[in-house]
Amino acid sequence: MPEIHHTDLLIVGAGPAGYTAAIYGARASLNPVLVTGLQPGGQLTITTDVENYPGFASPIQGPWLMDQMREQAEKVGTRLIYDLITEASLKNGPDKEGYFSLKGDSGTEYKAKTVIIATGAQAKWLGLESEKRLQAGGVSACATCDGFFYRGKTVAVVGGGNTAVEEALYLANLANKVHLIHRKDNLKAERILQKRLMDNPKIVIHWNREVIEAIGSGSPEVVTGVRLKDTDTGNTEILDVDGLFIAIGHTPNTGPFLHEVKCDKEGYIITEPDGTATSVPGVFAAGDIQDRIFRQAVTAAGTGCMAALEAERYLSHIPAMTKT
């Protein structure tokens, strides 16, 4: 017989949103169970120096911050289970006993009166070995997270959509020079963004180019350049840069929830304008799984707090609902 966990609040995902929801849920005596997924700690586990999380005057390490959140969540009463949710039955509402049903890869069943989905989103990468090797040495997928480290330096941004252009414009406020690398001869970004890009003297556009290698040196190894390939001729060249920002989009980790709650065309969960409620009463979403704009640790934590408070409010407004 598979193991079955009953809880007032099930949290799926162990990033800033999930851990914060767990902390608030535990303090509200909701006896939360948090299922971690494949990457406990989320994107911050591959982030080195974090300088923009409030409360720390000196840079902190992303994995350390996630360890602190995990320990706090456990200390206040959260049960952490290292499992991956593979099935969810949400769209028809709770069963006659008031529970939503979910199942993990381990075969464990989870029965929850409320659910918070906080599974995050993954940055899309180019798929280069050198890109992966240098992710802690100058390759990033978040300009607002890491741009500060390149004040007065030269950086490259890869992409041609709104995200890439916005990142290039943001970095131009910090760096001396920004190279925008796009594999086509036209951008997909909105016209007004393209005009701002073209008008910025600090930004150089490299048309019909793709990055085939991130070049690094030193110990520890850091980015010193990128190798570009001309998509028309096949010729290659090396561009000297201090940082490389990949801005080709994100993939929301919607997984088994894609057809259980309302999502947009890219798979991000749609929530109420001023909250975290999904299309299914009793099911909430927090963090990057529903935030395609900001994608910051602090905003994810904020929506995690909101989701837990909304879950508590949902339970308190159902007269027949008693705590597990």
Residue 212: C-alpha distances to residues 14, 134, 241 (Å): 33, 14, 14
Of 8, 67, 83, 142, which is the active-site residue?
A: 142
CA atoms of 147 and 128, how far apart (whole Å): 22
**How far, in Å, CA of 137 to CA of 122, rounded?**
19
Both tokens assigned to 38 = 């494949």
Report the alpha-carbon distance of residue 260 to residue 6 in Å, rounded. Answer: 20
Specify whether 263 is catalytic: no
Identify the bridge partners of residue 230 per DSSP, sorted by sequence position. Answer: 209
If you search the block for the tokens 């991956």, which residue do you land on? 84
Active-site residue (options: 146, 242, 288, 291) = 146
Active-site residue identified among 145, 242, 263, 305: 145
145 is a catalytic site residue: yes
Q: Catalytic annotation on 305?
A: no
Under DSSP, is residue 45 helix (H, G, I), strand (E, B) or coil? helix
Choose among 121, 109, 115: nearest CA to 22.
115
Catalytic site residues?
Answer: 142, 145-146
